[in-house]
Amino acid sequence: MTTDVIRPSLTRLGTVMRADPHDPREREGVCNPAAARGGDGEFYLFPRIVAAGNYSRIARTRLRFHADVPVAVERLGVVLEPTESWERNSQTAGVEDPRITRLDELDVWVMCYAAYGPLGAKVAVAVSRDLVSWRRLGPVAFGYEPGLGADFTMFPNKDATFFPGVVRDPAGRPALAMLHRPFFRMSAMIAGAPTILPAGVDDDRESIWVSYVPVAEARADLRALTRLSGHQLVAAPKFAWESVKIGAGPPPIRTDAGWLLIHHGVRATDDGVEYAAGAMLLDHDDVSEVRWRSPEPLLRPETSDERSGAVPNVVFPTAVDATPTGRTLVYYGMADDKIGAALLDVDTPLQGLVTRPSPSRQAACAGD
């Protein structure tokens, strides 16, 4: 595939949420939201809100628009507190950086989030039928596969999100697929610990992987969403703007050309690091195959809100939405303490941007 097949772009629309200085739960910022449209047609953001000591919760807000541009949020409370033992450690606690995918196949919204527990960040999953009450399914157990020579469950992991539709796993079965970012440099968590790479992997930088759960198993028991296998490397850092590490952003979007994934990349700078947003195109049938990726970022920190904050120089995309007027908006963390929005333009038709129930499901879900 040549790079002229798809030309995504991101155009800033502005800052949509800042921390409330009067709420101690937001003292250190609001950032990195998930998003979904409910059966009521309203659009909801689920930001990570950060209190003193890096204590993180996941909140729920209703977004307000003016002329199809998001301008403000109405706070609706907290939906997840770090109350479980695997979400807490001796210094702090955290449920962090959620992504929400609508899975019509299961008639649920599924939230992937980072649970910051005793062994660092682990991917965890919760589900909801109304976007208000969320039921934890627990931390993800990545099935051991001898051919990899490494047990993914032992590693810290973040930036997880499900595809909003059925794909094929490596065995050819209809499956639900989760993107995620394991850490193999264990010294980041435990001083002196070795780096343990899976078989056939020679790059220890944090990269994007995909794992699967057969649709039939998830239909029989939603807890199967926490038991994944068939792990495959999708993409490692490649270009200068993402030379330190990369990770998945919002749930992928199905287009005529393939699955469009907005992702983040990190590069080293004289002042530290810079987080920017880029894109890659994954194959319709084999989602581990990258057909194209952006050699330059689509959005990098340039405004004062993106360059100055809790962590300077951060653009961190985590949510996407199809508005009723047909525009596609991406929401992103700004310097780890604010939330911005950008307009996504793609020169190929979007097919599978699922942020709300399908029409057949809306009536059933609206009253949940």
Pick the range with the lowest mean pLDDT from 59-63, 117-121, 306-310, 312-316. 117-121
Predicted confidence (pLDDT) per residue in 9-52, tens digit: 999 999 999 999 999 999 999 999 999 999 888 999 999 999 99
Mean predicted confidence (pLDDT) in 64-83: 94
What residues does 180 pair with on adjacent strands?
209
Predicted confidence (pLDDT) per residue in 270-307, tens digit: 989 999 999 999 999 899 999 999 999 999 999 999 99
Token digits for 75?
């706070």
CB 333 within 8 A of CB 318: yes
Q: For 88-215, where are the E strands, in sequence order?
A: 95-103, 108-117, 120-128, 135-139, 141-142, 157-162, 167-168, 174-182, 208-214
Token digits for 204?
């220890």
353, pLDDT greater than 70: no
- For residue 53, the SS3 value is coil
CB 98 within 8 A of CB 112: yes
Query: Distance of CA 52 to CAs 26, 57, 93, 264, Å?
Result: 8, 12, 11, 26
Mean predicted confidence (pLDDT) in 303-329: 94
230, pLDDT greater than 80: yes
CB 110 within 8 A of CB 125: yes
Q: What is the pTM of this model?
A: 0.93
Q: Is 90 exposed, middle or buried (0-12, 13-18, 19+ CB in 10 A)?
A: exposed
Pick the range with the lowest mean pLDDT from 60-69, 142-151, 159-168, 281-290. 142-151
Mean predicted confidence (pLDDT) in 226-245: 97
- What is the structure's pLDDT at 366? 37
Domain range annotation of the chain: 27-348
Token digits for 234?
């999708």
368, pLDDT greater than 70: no
- Kindly state the percentage of the chain with pLDDT values over 90: 78
Choice between 311 and 366, residue whose per-residue pLDDT is larger: 311
Predicted confidence (pLDDT) per residue in 251-260, tens digit: 999 988 899 9
- Which helix (H) or strand (E) segment holds residue 243: the answer is none
> Given the structure tokens 């057909």, which residue do they identify?
291
170, pLDDT greater than 80: yes
- Which helix (H) or strand (E) segment holds residue 263: the answer is strand 258-269
- What is the structure's pLDDT at 119? 85
Closest CA to 182 of 122, 235, 127, 130: 122
Closest CA to 235 of 257, 255, 205, 259: 205
* Angle subtended at Cα 241 by Cα 235 and Cα 247, rounded to the nearest 5 degrees: 40
Mean predicted confidence (pLDDT) in 301-321: 97
Architecture of domain 27-348: 5 Propeller (2.115)
351, pLDDT greater than 70: no
Choice between 186 and 37, residue whose per-residue pLDDT is larger: 37
Q: CB within 8 A of 83, min separation 6: which ones? A: none
- What is the structure's pLDDT at 297? 97
